[in-house]
Chain A
Amino acid sequence: MNPVEQARQDALSLFKELGLPNKCNEDWKYTDVSRLEGLLDIGGVGADVHSEGLGMVDLDAYRMVFANGVFDAAQSNLPDAVEIVSLAALEASVSGEESKALAKLFHVSGNEPLVNGLTALNAAIASDGAAVCLADNSVLDKPLYILHVSNQNNAIRHGLMLGENAQAQVIEHFISVGEENALSNCVTAVILKNGASLEHSRLQQEGKKQAHVARVEVKQFRDSSYTFHGIELGASLSRTDLVVSLSEPGASCELNGLFVLDGRQHVDHHTRIDHQAPHCVSRENYRTVLDGRSHGVFNGKVVVHKGAIKTDSSQSNGNLLLSNHAQIDTKPELEIYNDDVKCAHGATVGQLDDKQLFYLRSRGICEEAAQELLVFAFADEILAAMSNQVVRSYVEKAAFAKLPHASDLDGLMG
Chain B
Amino acid sequence: MLVIKDLHVSVGGKEILKGLNLTINAGEVHAIMGPNGAGKSTLSNVIAGHDGYEVTSGSLTYKGEDLLAMKPEERAWAGVFLAFQYPVEIPGVNNTYLLKAGVNAKRKHQGLTELDAFDFMSVVKEKAKLVELDASFLSRSVNEGFSGGEKKRNEIFQMAVLEPDLALLDETDSGLDIDALRIVAGGINKLRSPDRAIVMITHYQRLLDYIEPDFVHVLAEGKIQKTGDKSLALKLEEHGYDWVKENL
Contacts and interface: CB of A to CB of B under 8 A. Distances in A.
Partners in one complex: yes
Chain A: number of interface residues, binned into ranges:
20 to 34
Interface stretch (A8-16, A127-135, A226-234, A376-384): A376-384
A361 B73 contact: yes
> A-B pairs with the 6 shortest C-beta distances?
A377-B92, A364-B76, A364-B102, A361-B72, A363-B102, A364-B105
Contacts of B76: 361-364
B71 A365 contact: no
B99 interface: yes
Nearest to B103: A364
A412 B102 contact: no
Contact of B73 (A364, A381, A384): A364
B71 A381 contact: no
A360 interface: yes
A337 interface: no
Interface in A350-377: 353-356, 358-367, 369-370, 373-374, 376-377
Contacts of A362: 48-49, 72-73, 75-76, 81-82
A380 B94 CA distance: 12
A277 B204 CA distance: 59
B71 A361 contact: yes
Interface string B142-155: 10000000000000
Contact of B91 (A367, A377, A409): A377
Chain B residues touching A, range: 20 to 34
Interface of B: 48-52, 71-73, 75-77, 81-82, 84, 87-88, 90-93, 97-103, 105-106, 117, 141-142, 158, 162
Interface of A: 353-356, 358-367, 369-370, 373-374, 376-378, 380-381, 384, 409, 411-412, 414
Contacts of A412: 97
Contacts of B103: 364
Nearest to B83: A362
Given A363-B162, A365-B101, A358 B90 contact: no
B77 A364 contact: yes
B245 to A, nearest CB: 33
B92 A381 contact: yes
Contacts of B88: 353, 355-356, 359
B90 A360 contact: yes
Given A358-B50, A358-B72, A363 B91 contact: no
A354 B72 CA distance: 13
B48 A378 contact: no
28 contacts: A356-B90, A358-B48, A358-B50, A359-B90, A360-B93, A360-B98, A361-B71, A361-B72, A361-B73, A362-B48, A362-B49, A362-B75, A363-B101, A363-B158, A364-B73, A364-B77, A364-B106, A364-B162, A365-B101, A365-B102, A365-B105, A366-B105, A377-B91, A377-B92, A380-B92, A411-B100, A414-B97, A414-B117
A359 B73 contact: no
Contacts of A365: 73, 98, 101-102, 105
Given A360-B98, A365-B73, A377-B141, 14 more contacts: A356-B90, A358-B51, A358-B72, A359-B84, A359-B88, A362-B48, A362-B73, A362-B82, A363-B162, A365-B101, A366-B73, A384-B92, A412-B97, A414-B97
A355, A359, A367, A369: which has the most chain B beta carbons within 10 Å? A359
Contacts of A353: 88
Contacts of A359: 84, 87-88, 90, 142
Contacts of B101: 363-365, 369, 373, 409
